[in-house]
Structure 1
Amino acid sequence: MNNNKIEYLTERLEKILADRLVSLHRLFDELTIVVQANHVHSVSEILRDHQDLGFDTLIDLCGMDYLTYGDETNALGQSDGRRFAVVYHLLSVDLNQRLRMKVFAQDSELPVVDSVTDIWPVANWFEREAFDLFGIVFAGHSDLRRILTDYGFVGNPFRKDFPISGYVEMRYDEDQKRVVYQPVSIEPREITPLVIREQNYGDSHAD
């Protein structure tokens, strides 16, 4: 979007959403708004239906884990120490404008955010993916279950405290003639890469 279009959209968002906005910031000519979890559904309806906004298309939805961000997000006035967020990437086809919306779940132990599948039906599988990988629950989703991992999978693999090797491994058992799960047999280890540099590599006066 050009500069005038971004400034106009910023002004309209601030006026239309008013106190529903936690923050609005611009970076690399992209706008991001942050809203409270209890407002995500009503704000989504406004973003889709208001004639000056018209965000009829949800391009993407994903979860985020801010476990290791510490005070960095607090300085932006966004997370207030909350761990999990959902990010929505929106497009208005008619008005040719884009927007990113972010919402932080109130409870880091059981992150819950309202589903927007009735506003943008394409959110169905996106929300299931965020549920599967991050453990974020989308209240009101009609069929919230895992979509990428196995039915017996333990944990949420995109959480930052999830071990790289996972908790269990599976193999085919010849005696039982079926797949079985067992504790991970791989010993955890730290790998330090070996760096090899040729003599005078990058030296501008080398022959």
Structure 2
Amino acid sequence: MTDIALHPEQIKLSLAAALGDKATNVSVALGEVTVTVRASDYVAAMQILRDAPDCKFEQLLDLCGMDYSTYREVGREGPRFGVVSHLLSVTLNQRVRVMVMCPDDDFPVVASVNDLWNSANWYEREAFDLFGIVFEGHNDLRRILTDYGFIGHPFRKDFPLSGHVEMRYDAERARVIYEPVSIEPREITPRIVREDHYGGLH
């Protein structure tokens, strides 16, 4: 283990050399290194990042789904869904963010990395539950946060903000029941009260 952290530009160069054509882009922004890979190279690239001598990312700290659908409003084109992972090398005292896009917007699929880091198990289940991203090769891909009969994926940007069904426990029936619910939309305008010269402003 080293106590000296490499400069992000040095990490970028060593990761680019280790990954070769498995990486479509290696960049530094705000002091953080980001590696972008194709879905077809995802597992191979992640294995290199775990095992290569200049990488040694022993820990997967986080993995989450992303919905980039609203990026089209600001002129960014490309696939809608992606997966972002954060890796840590305790041995070399370095971190990296890895991005991979799902090629098919209608059925977003990427390979599972659970065989490389078992910490990916619940993270991938969460991304499946909330975004509908399928992790091919995951041996127990099922919902983890929403109810078993839940319909849809609540972190997708087109998911409705207000629901139509309420789930609650009924003590008399001794089970969970579903009931229709009507939520009337309303606007709440905050009332702001400021005294004269509030905060020293004139």
TM-score tier (shorter): 0.7 to 0.9
Matched, 1:149 2:151: no
Give CA deviations for 1:34-81 in whole Å, capped at 9, x if unaligned. 11111111100010010111111101111111121226583xxxxx42
User: Alignment partner for residue 85 of structure 1, among 82, 85, 98?
Assistant: 82
Matched, 1:37 2:39: yes
User: Alignment partner for residue 68 of structure 1, among 67, 70, 74?
Assistant: 70
Matched residue SS, 2:40: helix
Aligned length: 200
Matched residue SS, 1:133: helix
Identity, % of aligned positions:
56
Matched residue SS, 2:69: coil
CA distance in 2, matches of 1:18, 1:174: 60
What stretches of structure 1 of length at least 5 have no aligned partner?
75-79
The runs of at least 4 consecutive aligned structure 1 residues that moved more than 4 Å come to: 1-4, 172-177
1:198–1:67 Cα change, 3 Å: farther
Note if contact 2:65-2:127 (Cα within 8 Å) is conserved in structure 1.
yes
With the length of structure 2 as denominator, give the TM-score of the two structures: 0.88
1:67–1:34 Cα change, 3 Å: same
User: Alignment partner for residue 130 of structure 1, among 122, 127, 130?
Assistant: 127
User: Alignment partner for residue 46 of structure 1, among 45, 48, 63?
Assistant: 48
CA distance in 2, matches of 1:191, 1:30: 39
With the length of structure 1 as denominator, give the TM-score of the two structures: 0.86
What stretches of structure 2 of length at least 5 have no aligned partner?
none
User: Alignment partner for residue 139 of structure 1, among 122, 131, 136?
Assistant: 136
Structure 2 letter corresponding to 1:191:
I
